[in-house]
Amino acid sequence: MIDVVFVDTNILIYAHDRDGGHKRDRAARALQKLWSDRSGRVSAQVLQEFYVTVTKKLTSTLAHAAAREVVRTYAPWVHAPTTPETIIRATELSELARLSFWDGLIVASAEQVGAKSILSEDLNTGQVIAGIRIVNPLV
């Protein structure tokens, strides 16, 4: 049995950022391993944030059609909907772990799909939140 790994938006963005340098390479390798293992998970939130960031905020933005294709590619990694219960859990986690609401929603979504770890550059690597280990694959 493979451990489920939840991917935060920033890792997905780096994997598709033409100006990402070594971070792009490391993020892409991490995602390729998850494809091989069939262990990767994301949420609709991650896909939404990805689309907006890569089409509007990067120095070398992706074309809308290309960004849509990435969203389509990762859509099978969404294994649970964001429900009112997910949002309530996110508020609890953001209070308990002193996270932003959006980071709390990442953790709540990871918890919802039974993830053992979250790949993230934004959260503190090595930290355990709700039994889920934070791992930064970019270092």
CA angle 48, 62, 105 (to 5 degrees): 20
What pLDDT band is residue 77 in, cutting at 50, 70 and 90?
very high
What pLDDT band is residue 33 in, cutting at 50, 70 and 90?
very high
Burial category of 139 from C-beta neighbours within 10 Å (exposed 0-12, middle 13-18, buried 19 and up): exposed
> Is a pLDDT exceeding 80 seen at residue 1?
no
Domain count, the chain: 1
Q: In this prediction, what percent of the chain has a pLDDT beyond 70?
A: 100
Helices (H), 9-123: 9-15, 21-37, 44-56, 64-74, 84-96, 101-112
Residue 7 contacts residue 34 (beta carbons within 8 Å): yes
What pLDDT band is residue 107 in, cutting at 50, 70 and 90?
very high
Query: Containing domain of residue 101, as a range?
Result: 5-135
For residue 50, the model assigns a pLDDT of 98
Please give the average per-residue pLDDT across 19-45, as a whole number.
98
The string of pLDDT tens digits covering residues 62-74 is 999 999 999 999 9
SS3 of 54-81: the string is: HHHCCCCCCCHHHHHHHHHHHHHHECCC
Provide the mean pLDDT of the chain.
97
Please give the average per-residue pLDDT across 47-59, as a whole number.
98
For residue 81, the model assigns a pLDDT of 97
Please give the average per-residue pLDDT across 54-59, as a whole number.
97
Structure tokens at 131: 């039994």
Q: Is the pTM of this model over 0.85?
A: yes
Query: What CATH number does the domain containing 47 carry?
Result: 3.40.50.1010
